[in-house]
Amino acid sequence: MKQYRGLAASAGIAIGPAWIYRPTQVTVERRLVADPAAEWARLQTALSMARTQLQALEARARENIGADEAAIFSAHQLFLEDEELLNSLAGLVKEQRLNAEAAVHDAFEHYAQALESLEEAYFKARAADVRDVRARVLRSLAGAGESEGELTQPAVIFAEDLSPSDTVQFDRTKILGLCTVKGGPTSHTAILARGLGLPAVVSTPINLAEVDPGTLTILDGTTGGVIIGPTLTELDRARKRQAEWQTRRAEQLSAAHAPAATLDGHTVEVVANIGSAEDAQQALEQGAEGVGLFRTEFLYLDRETMPTEAEQEASYRAVFAVMGSRPMVVRTLDIGGDKAVPYLGLQQEPNPFLGWRAIRMIRERPDILEGQLRALLAAGGEAETDLRIMLPMVSSLGEITRAREILAQAQASLQAQGRPLPARFQFGIMIEVPSAALLADHLAQHVDFFSIGTNDLTQYALAVDRTNERVTKLATPYHPAVLRLIKLTIDAAHAHGKWVGLCGELAGDEMAVPLLLGLGLDEFSMAPASVPGVKAAIRRWTLPACRAVAAEAVAQPQAIDVLDYLRGLTPR
């Protein structure tokens, strides 16, 4: 028996034979061709094969996982249409008479390296996508399939790394769990695994050459534990834990549609973070009572021009239709930081998270916010939407005042066109910059609600870049300094009669439930899959007990003390 510990990436326990994923390796030979025109035609056939495969993968991802995942494959198709890339391929084959394989290798590599040399994490990450597409085209040229060997029976998949196309091509019914050597909890593997509801462990220090295919394995996506060739005792223990987990999950799901109230009857809203209409549907299935964060960026990413107002309105209408009259918190465009959109005039910056990001765009481009607000109000006005619009990354009062002016213009222009405005409407801000938390008493007087973004609040309060793997362990929202900022925010809002939500990852962590209830949080917003577990955790507590937990946690000197204390209170 061999044991390893990686990073827990998606909850659940998988027990089954190991299947090692080894993508087909295509060796690239290099030669000059006698007939460049024929070679160019051969390359065109391979490119169109790759395009067809990507269209199929896109459709499969949309059907089985969601729109965000499907978007990865539509972005891959865009690479195959990139004019610069196609010109460089033509130059290499037609003019330099290089064979198609070598031309594909060189042209895509050049493109990937150019992306890697850029500062922004978003572009760096795209380099992996370019290489993924290159491998696909090379396989098409070689007439090879996606990988060596087929996944014929249910198995735990082991891989060095998994690209999105790797993961989606597997037959969902044959995957018991996923284990990768590379990747972090926010890697594509992790995101896809969570979307599929599969247990996953990433960053596992394991040598795949030592794993015999077919060996029985246990993978615990809650603890990050991986066992190869378990003893009978270990296997028994895992089977018991798996059964308990499945029973607990089934119980949680069966109660997921009931309200979340503490033992003494204190009710809070449990809502979801979404990015599309498909996510909204999933959120309802998991028992979410509405949406606490609709990240609207998805509409603007992976395209080359600004969506028109009509396009925006249509997308919002689709999401609003799913949610009906339930609470619908929409965040205005949060671009910049690690999310770049070239056509919006973003430039390379030394510190993009401290730069021209989110609400800061309104000084130079008020038209973007005005257009988005008009589209949101128009879509909400036609439906029964309980529309709550919020601004990201607010750091001072002036931003709220300016945004309110823009909102008034958007409302006036719709009224001038005789279009109805939403019957129910609230205007709020995210609290994710420490200055906003510290001034929450002032800001609360100018908005209807706050939603705390602990992902960014942690990064800004503790000075840790959330995308830098080397310091990521320091970025814990359980740091008492972050907890104090949360407390300050909630207290200030309540003093002015305003409600407070929390939509960072912390809200979906069952361990944080008594702490956040005790601090007085009114609304918890999280990934749809976390809703049943968080609702169940809320039902285990009374409000006075939670208040005592919060007071104890906030008084701790270090994050580790808070974590030790809360772990002791959380059933496993």
Interaction site with Mg ion (CB under 5 A): 432, 453, 456
Q: Which does 465 bind (CB under 5 to 8 A by kind): ligand PEP, Mg ion, none?
A: none
Q: Min. distance of Cβ 392 from ligand PEP in angstroms?
A: 7
Which residues between 412 and 451 bind ligand PEP (CB under 6 A)?
432
**456 lies in the site for ligand PEP, by CB under 6 A:** yes
- Residue 90 has, within 13 A of its CA and on its CB side, a CA count of 8
Measured from the CB atom, the residue of 453 and 477 that comes closer to Mg ion is: 453
Catalytic, out of 76, 105, 188, 479 = 188
**Position among 475, 490, 503, 562 found at the interface with ligand PEP (CB under 6 A):** 503
| Tokens matching residue 209 | 């050459």
Site string for ligand PEP, 275-294 (x = CB under 6 A): ------------------x-
Give the dihedral sign, CA 315/317/322/327.
Answer: positive
Q: Is 546 a catalytic residue?
A: no
- CA 543, 547, 550: angle at the middle one, nearest 5? 135
| 3 state DSSP class of 20 | strand
Return the HEC string of 112-134: HHHHHCCCCHHHHHHHHHHHHHH
Measured from the CB atom, the residue of 89 and 271 that comes closer to Mg ion is: 271
Q: Min. distance of Cβ 529 from ligand PEP in angstroms?
A: 16
**In sequence order, what DSSP letters do the residues of 49-104 get, joined into one string?**
HHHHHHHHHHHHHHHHT-HHHHHHHHHHHHHHH-HHHHHHHHIIIIIT-B-HHHHH
**Position among 169, 281, 426, 455 found at the interface with ligand PEP (CB under 6 A):** 455
How many residues bind ligand PEP, per CB under 6 A?
10
Q: How far apart are CA 563 and CA 482, in angstroms?
A: 13
Q: Which does 313 bind (CB under 5 to 8 A by kind): Mg ion, ligand PEP, none?
A: none
Compute how many other C-beta atoms are within 10 angstroms of the C-beta atom of residue 153.
11
Catalytic, out of 76, 105, 479, 503 = 503
**10 lies in the site for ligand PEP, by CB under 6 A:** no
The closest residue (CB) to ligand PEP is 453
**Taking a C-beta distance cutoff of 8 angstroms, is the pair 46, 189 a contact?**
no
Q: Is 188 a catalytic residue?
A: yes
φ/ψ (deg, to 5) at 184: -110, 180
**Taking a C-beta distance cutoff of 8 angstroms, is the pair 523, 499 a contact?**
yes
**476 lies in the site for ligand PEP, by CB under 6 A:** no
Q: Min. distance of Cβ 30 from ligand PEP in angstroms?
A: 45
When computed from its CA atoms, the radius of gyration of the chain, rounded to whole angstroms, is 25
Q: Min. distance of Cβ 280 from ligand PEP in angstroms?
A: 17
Measured from the CB atom, the residue of 126 and 339 that comes closer to ligand PEP is: 339
User: Among all residues, which ones are annotated catalytic?
Assistant: 188, 503
Which residues of this chain interact with ligand PEP, rule CB under 6 A? 293, 295, 334, 432, 453-456, 503-504
